[in-house]
Structures are given as structure tokens and as C-alpha cells.
Amino acid sequence: MRLPLLALAALAPFGALFAADLPALIPLPAKAEAIEGRFKLTADTAIVAPGELANEAGYLAQRLRTAAGIPAPVNATGAGIVLALDKSIPAEGYALEVTPAGVSIRGGSPAGVFYGVQTFLQALPAAVYGSDLAPKADWSAQAMKVQDAPLTPWRGLMLDSARHFQPKPFILKFIDAMAAQKLNKLHWHLVDSEGWRLEIKKYPKLTEVTKDAPAYYPEEIPTNPTFRAKYRYGYNHGGGHYTQDDIREIVAYAKARHVDIIPEIEFPGHAKIALTAYPEFSTTRKVPEVRTNISPDLIGVHPEALRFIRDLLDETMDLFPGDHIHFGGDEAPKGQWKQSKEVQAKIDELGLRSSSHPEDALQAWLFNEMAAYVAKRGKRAVGWEEIMHGDNLGRLAKGSVIMPWLSVKNGAVSANSGYGVVHTAVSPFYLDSYQVRDDREPSALYGGPFTAESIHRFNLFPGELTPEGRKNILGAQCQLWTELMPRTDDVEYQAFPRACALAELTWTAPDRRKDTGEFMARLAKHGDRLTALGLNHRRVAPPPGAGWSPVLLAAGRPMEIPVPAAVAAKLAKNPTLTATFNYKEGGAGLDIASVELLADGKVVATDKHAGFAGTHPRDNVYRLALPKGQKPEKLVLRATVKGSGGGDSTGEVALDASK
């Protein structure tokens, strides 16, 4: 039988990439092989770890106690699950060996051991990530050998807590969810025009003014009718902030999970709320009037304004021990600086008049002043791409990190010029975008769809990079801007599972993650872990399905999809096959005329209704009952379909069994 190309592509990796019984590991380790047997957790299972690994042992013990209900004592010596440091392994790397007799996790550092623990947890039932006891789960792990280390040091998510405030318990949960994917950088957007969320003792009005601010501004309502219909303006109040005690608790929680928090204190733009609280630090000294996100109001460069920024950085650095601090720097329209005599005098004083863009050069000077200030405490400054605009490359302080969000090319140019670069391009890393094209999805500012697949396929090392530049690529990060995410449920849904694709992009070497289809199959299984983590995530269609593509549609043949063994096994109990045609992207969609089920080449069931899979799907679920006595073997689904409109759509068919 000739199988459609896409069906083959979807099926082949299961046997090909690894032994069938390895658990679905995400991110895919550098090397992993399943071996004979299983390791069983019992009431006698102990965790053996030296004092330096008390944190990692405690984390593992807590998971096993909570979910498996075993005592999991932590001992200094003995047998069981043995954690150890091994300096021959890269710092964030680990070697994991699971055998029926015991488990060994060796890491190059406590972080490496922690990641080995995460991989071990993925060999246990998904419930291990949950907060409830799961006594019925099979508390055993597939025996396997894994050797692993991350591709890049920056595996990040940016969370905007300024546009909408998320309460502390959510932040802790979010950090747990990141750690489970081996993500290690939480870039925390704590301040913006709409809200200042960080308690600053010296400037209490920052958070006081925030209490009365709306969650976002009416002017920001997008004009697109589908956005408007779903835009939940006024859904919740704009108030809320983290006290310094909250921050200390969150930072300690993150540290225990090897997540660094990079706080973002924005200047000179996106500062409306700060300048409403303290207009004396603005360029105009007036309370801002314009209520838009990209506010025209800029912090000034007079001595009091510089003192203000340094004071903010002092308290921020006292709270966040990590080695990076973010200065924002994006979307700072220079109108006020152009008109201010004081600012223009400063440009002259600094000798910046002859530069091609004097106000941009002044922004670079301001950035550098503050970069030098934080460098005294061992911190590296990070800024959005705009800090290199206006011919600022070369002018910026050495050692600065740039986040190119507007242009991947500017990332390559910055890296070639010696700056650290974290990929943050809108496409595909802005998660305030649709993750599939479907009107039922939550509203999104950035369109899209930017899919998990597109993140997984991103090229971290574009061709423009020189060998030196390549070394400056620190990794990548997804952005969660929350203008349209008033509820924490919304944040979770937009983040997951796309953050898992980012995790694999930044962890797994490119030659190891060539097969995005195979990743999606693992991701579908990984969904159970996201559920156990309590996340409101988008479910990936159950694997293995198969789908359609422009190539398949152009061939004009019926789609033929072999029913996978896992679904056939379910059919033995629940003998009706359901086939759901899910549109993903591209022109119009798919017209479905009829669907047949074949057993050993003979039609045994037919569902002949007309259906459509597209942005507005219609009757796109087909039900095919297996006749009594028919064994669920050698089954193939055959669908007579036609591309609708331009005919260049892509989608998948999810197969499952039901009564």
C-alpha cells in the first residue's frame, strides 16, 4: 500500500529515533537509551545524597512523598536513588542511570543533578508532578541510561506582571512549571506604563499610584473585531504588587529550582506610571497625560532623574541575586528629548551632537551609565533591541546583552559585534499570539499563529553569524505580554505547551531535534505532566495522528492513515473510531466528503457526512463503528477530501476510540 507522505513522516520516528519504551522525554536528552527492566519505588526507597545536594534531594523527596506517598528518607550513605557531584560532567549536565536495582544521578553541579532528577521524574507516572497522592499509579520507572547537557545557557520565559498582576502563588507555580522543562531564566517584566509591581521602599508612591490604575488603557483596545469581541476590558482591577518579602520568598523558591530571575526596570520609556508617581524625574516635570502603552513620557537625564534610576537599581539588586538585570530600553519615542533644552544641552556636553542619531546615542549613554553602575556589583546589563538602534552598536558597554525582538538579523549583527544575544523575535517567540488558527482561541495581540512547531524549528544560529558571533548566542526566550491575559489561566494557556518547544530548542542540539513531527508526538504525551502541574495548557492532538499538507492535497488522492497500534488496542474495548480533522494553518481549509474505515483493505465502516476543517470548523468529527466480531487489526482510515479555497492548508487528524 502506498502511504501518503505525511502519514509516513508522522509514523516513522516512533521506532526510528529511540527504543519504543523510552518515556517521552522533553527536552530530548543528548543521549538516551532504554534498557531491560524497571525500577520500582517502594516504602524502603531512600535518597542518598551528600550535604551539598540537600536541596536537590529534598526536591525529589518531596515529589515522591507527595505523589507516591512513600517516606523517601534522605540519607548520607546507602543504596536507592543516589545523587552525586561529578566534576568530569559539564556544569549543567548529568548522567542518569536507572536500573531495576537502583538509580544513579551524577551531575557536574547541583543544577546538573537537578536536571537529572527532572529526567528521572519523567520516567515515572505524570502524577509525580502533581500535588495529590496518586496511589493507583504504577510507581516504577523504565530502566534507561541518559547522558545529557544543555545546548545554551539561557533558556528563558519573560513574564509581564505589569500589564496584569499575577498573585504570588501563581509565580511559584510558574517557576515549578519552568523547572520541569529545564528552563532556567525567568525574565520578570515588573514595571511598565500600566503598573509598577515591585515595592521600592524609597519611592512608595510607585505602587500606591498603581493601585488606582486600570489594568490597561482604553486606547489599547485592538480594532480587529475578533479581538474586540473577546477583549475583556475591565475584567479585573489593575492594582497589585509584590512586597520585598514576597520577592525574597519567590527568589529563594526559584533558586532552589535553579531558575534565575532577571528583573526588568525599564527606562527611559514605558514609564508612565513611574512618572505619574514622581513627575519630578520626567523630562517635562509634568504628570503624564497620554494614556497609551507606548507613552511619549520619558525619564529625564538631569541629576535627580539619574539618582532615581540608581536608587531603583540599588533596591532591585538587593533583592535579586542573579548576575543579570534588564533595563528595558524599547519603544522610547524621542519627541520629548528632542524638544527639551536641558536634554539637548546634555547631548552637547557629552559630545554626541555629531552622531547620526543624537537622542539614540544619549539613550546608549544612559544605558552605559547604569550598566557601569550595576557592574560594580557584578551584574551584566540587558536591553531590548532598540538599545543598538541608531548606530549604537559599538557605543554600548562591552558585555551588555541584547534581546532582538524586531529582527533576527539584528541579533546576528549584535552577536558578531561582541554582545551577548538572547533570541526573542516576535515570530515565533511572542506568546501573545495565536498558537493555532482557531477563533475559539483566546485573543492575541500579535496574530500568528506562532506554533510550538515554529518555535521548535527556529534556527538559533543564522547564517550571518561569524564563528565568534556564534559563541555570543546565549539562547532564546519566549515572551508573555499580558495586555490580553487578565487571568493566570490565560497566561498558562498561552505559555504551554509552547514553552516546552522553547525548552527543547535551547536544550537539545540542532542535529538531535531535526524531527519536529517526532517532538510533537512526545509533546502530546508530555501533556499529562502539564496537567499534573496544574496548568491550563493547550492539548496537542493525541499521537500518532496524521494530517494533510499542500503537497498531499495537490496530489488529489484520498488520505490514507494507518490506525496506530495504541488506538487499535483501545478499539478492542471501545469499538468506535473517532477521527477529528484539525486545521492548523494555511489557506482556507479542508472539505471532507466521506471517511471510510478499512480492515485488511476492505471497507468495514463509512461516515459519509460533509465536513469542513478550517478556522470555523463544521462537522469535522467522523465516527466509524467497528462491526461486531471485527478484530481491530490492519486498520486504515481513508478520507475523501479536497483543499478548500487556495487548497494550501495544513492540519492533522486525531484518531481515538470511543464507545
Nearer to ligand ACM, 385 or 596 (CB): 385
Least Å distance between CB 162 and ligand ACM? 12
Size of interface with ligand ACM, in residues (CB under 6 A)? 4
The C-alpha cell 532552589 sits at 256
Nearer to ligand ACM, 384 or 507 (CB): 384
For the segment 202-231, give every residue that binds ligand ACM (CB under 6 A): none
Nearer to ligand ACM, 59 or 384 (CB): 384
8's enclosing H/E stretch is helix 5-11
> How many whole angstroms from its chain centre is CA 539?
15
Q: Using the Cα atoms of residue 421, residue 384, residue 315 and residue 299 in order, give the sign of their dihedral.
A: positive
For the segment 67-106, give every residue that binds ligand ACM (CB under 6 A): none
Distance CA 72, CA 41 (A): 9
DSSP per-residue string spanning 67-104: II-----EESSSSSEEEEE-TTS-TT-EEEEEETTEEE
Distance CA 489, CA 220 (A): 21
Site string for ligand ACM, 349-388 (x = CB under 6 A): -----------------------------------x----
**CA count, 13 A, side-chain hemisphere, 152:** 26
In this structure, what DSSP letter does residue 354 have? T
Indicate the SS3 state at residue 642. Answer: strand
Indicate the SS3 state at residue 652. Answer: strand
In this structure, what DSSP letter does residue 270 have? S
Least Å distance between CB 648 and ligand ACM? 30
The C-alpha cell 536507592 sits at 80
Given 97, 148, 176, 192, the catalytic residue:
192
Contacting residue, 129, 337, 405, 612, with ligand ACM by CB under 6 A? 405
Pairing assessment for the beta strands 602-607 and 650-658 based on DSSP bridges: unpaired
Least Å distance between CB 382 and ligand ACM? 12
Least Å distance between CB 330 and ligand ACM? 4
Least Å distance between CB 578 and ligand ACM? 41
Is 188 a binding residue for ligand ACM by CB under 6 A? The answer is no
DSSP per-residue string spanning 211-245: HTS-SS-GGG--SSHHHHHH--TTSS-S---B-HH
**Residue 187 a catalytic site member:** no
Pairing assessment for the beta strands 94-99 and 102-107 based on DSSP bridges: antiparallel
Nearer to ligand ACM, 249 or 331 (CB): 331
Distances (CA, A) of 420 to 64, 324, 423, 506: 39, 12, 10, 15
Q: Under a CB-based contact definition with an 8 Å cutoff, are residues 184 and 122 in contact?
A: no
Q: Before 23, cis peptide (omega within 30)?
A: no
For the segment 307-336, give every residue that binds ligand ACM (CB under 6 A): 330-331
Nearer to ligand ACM, 148 or 330 (CB): 330
Identity of residue 564: P
For the segment 581-620, give every residue that binds ligand ACM (CB under 6 A): none
Given 164, 189, 270, 526, the catalytic residue:
270
User: Rounded to a whole number, what is the distance in angstroms from the first to the last CA of the chain?
Assistant: 29
Nearer to ligand ACM, 365 or 405 (CB): 405
Distance CA 620, CA 164 (A): 36
Least Å distance between CB 20 and ligand ACM? 43
Least Å distance between CB 157 and ligand ACM? 14
Distance CA 137, CA 131 (A): 14
CB-nearest residue to ligand ACM: 330
Nearer to ligand ACM, 331 or 585 (CB): 331
Distances (CA, A) of 526 to 127, 381, 409, 500, 539: 12, 35, 33, 9, 10
Given 246, 249, 331, 515, the catalytic residue:
331
Order of strands across the sheet that contains 31-40: 31-40, 140-148, 94-99, 102-107, 81-85, 47-48, 74-75
**Residue 270 a catalytic site member:** yes
Least Å distance between CB 224 and ligand ACM? 18
Nearer to ligand ACM, 216 or 384 (CB): 384
Least Å distance between CB 433 and ligand ACM? 12
Nearer to ligand ACM, 329 or 545 (CB): 329
**Residue 21 a catalytic site member:** no
Residues marked active site are found at 192, 270, 331
* Interacting residues with ligand ACM (CB under 6 A): 330-331, 384, 405
